[in-house]
């Protein structure tokens, strides 16, 4: 028993503690600061004594935040359609400092779309986005397209064609749409496009709503 069905239902069930936008704001601001901290940690050249002091200060902050903890990452119903959003998502989660975060919107034609810029925190080859990070983003938006079609599922297959390197530090566009559904299976296509309008990655995925 994989528990995949329960996991899938949990995404949309809204059985998690749901935060209001007012509750989210100060925690999202904290996540923004941590994002800046991650970037600073990678690039800093301050002396060793300052690094040790900074590490102790961060450890003290972590201890302070852990004095009151949730059991699971929270969710919220946001936007006009009130879709449940996982605030801790590594792609879209405004409370997750490792998420860019990407704001995925569903368009009237059922496709999903996001405009975003990645920093060099997500670098693979110098000046370009890590291919695994692109795969993460594409998996998510493909899944969002399947869900927007009313046919959500777990990723069963994910095929990627890296046509040219994806640059970081410039505006990128990701779009995805559902192309086919047969029973529990849903197929979706997606692309990432660079600022010159050229597609850098094409992706196709198949999602399965788990039997159990
Ligand atoms: C809005 C939120 C967006 C979030 C997007 C994020 C997406 C994710 O990250 S999901 C996490 C990554 N994916 C996973 O961990 C999935 C792990 N796998 C599983 O849970 C299961 O194997 C699962 C659900 C895919 C299929 O399980 P199950 O429902 O038992 O399938 P099962 O009944 O055996 O097979 C059904 C059919 O699918 C086919 N199938 C099953 N798995 C696969 C697969 N991986 N690839 C191709 N075909 C498959 C079977 O052959 C069968 O085909 P047919 O009907 O023609 O005989």
For residues 77 and 87, give the distance between their C-alpha atoms in angstroms, rounded to a whole number.
Answer: 10
State the ipTM, two decimals: 0.96
* Any ligand 1 atom below 6 A from CB of 140: yes
Residue 84 pLDDT:
79
Tell me which of 3.10.129.10, 3.40.50.720, 1.10.10.10, 2.120.10.30 is the CATH number of domain 97-208.
3.10.129.10
For residues 13 and 52, give the distance between their C-alpha atoms in angstroms, rounded to a whole number.
Answer: 44
For residues 52 and 64, give the distance between their C-alpha atoms in angstroms, rounded to a whole number.
Answer: 19
Q: Could you give the percent of the chain with pLDDT greater than 70? A: 94
Give CA separation, 186 vs 53, 182, 183, in Å.
51, 6, 8
pLDDT digits (tens, 9 = 90+) for 96-106: 999 999 999 99
Q: Whose CA is nearest to atom 27 of ligand 1?
A: 210
Q: Is residue 158 over pLDDT 80?
A: yes
List the structure tokens of 197: 């309008």
* Any ligand 1 atom below 6 A from CB of 156: yes
Active site residue 139: yes
**Domain boundaries defined on the chain:** 97-208
The phi-psi region of residue 183 (left if phi > 0; otherwise alpha if psi is between -120 and 50; otherwise beta) is left
* Any ligand 1 atom below 6 A from CB of 2: yes
Q: What is the mean predicted confidence (pLDDT) over 179-190?
A: 98
> Of these residues, 109, 120, 139, 159, which one is catalytic?
139
Residue 128 pLDDT:
98
Centre of ligand 1 to C-alpha 71, Å, is 27
pLDDT digits (tens, 9 = 90+) for 46-57: 999 999 999 999
For residues 135 and 101, give the distance between their C-alpha atoms in angstroms, rounded to a whole number.
Answer: 15
For residues 207 and 157, give the distance between their C-alpha atoms in angstroms, rounded to a whole number.
Answer: 7
Residue 33 pLDDT:
98
Q: Which residue has the higher pLDDT, 72 or 180?
A: 180
Q: Is residue 72 over pLDDT 90?
A: no
Q: Which atom of ligand 1 is least distant from the CA of 185? A: 38
The phi-psi region of residue 92 (left if phi > 0; otherwise alpha if psi is between -120 and 50; otherwise beta) is alpha
């Amino acid at each position: 028993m994989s528990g995949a069905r329960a996991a899938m239902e949990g995404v949309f069930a809204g059985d998690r503690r749901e935060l209001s936008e007012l509750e989210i704001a100060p925690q999202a601001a904290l996540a923004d600061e941590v994002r800046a901290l991650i970037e600073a940690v990678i690039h800093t050249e301050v002396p060793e004594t300052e690094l040790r002091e900074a590490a102790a200060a961060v450890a003290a902050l972590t201890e302070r935040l852990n004095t009151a903890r949730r059991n699971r990452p929270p969710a919220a119903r946001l936007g006009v359609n009130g879709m449940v959003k996982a605030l801790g998502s590594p792609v879209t989660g405004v409370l997750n400092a490792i998420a860019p975060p990407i704001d995925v919107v569903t368009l009237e034609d059922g496709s999903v779309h996001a405009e975003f810029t990645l920093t060099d925190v997500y670098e693979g080859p110098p000046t370009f986005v890590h291919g695994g990070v692109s795969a993460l983003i594409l998996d998510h938006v493909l899944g969002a397209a399947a869900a927007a079609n009313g046919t959500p599922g777990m990723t069963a297959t994910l095929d990627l064609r890296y046509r040219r390197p994806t640059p970081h530090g410039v505006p990128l566009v990701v779009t995805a749409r559902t192309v086919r559904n047969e029973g529990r299976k849903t197929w979706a296509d997606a692309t990432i496009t660079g600022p010159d309008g050229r597609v850098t990655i094409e992706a196709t995925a198949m999602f399965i709503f788990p039997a159990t």
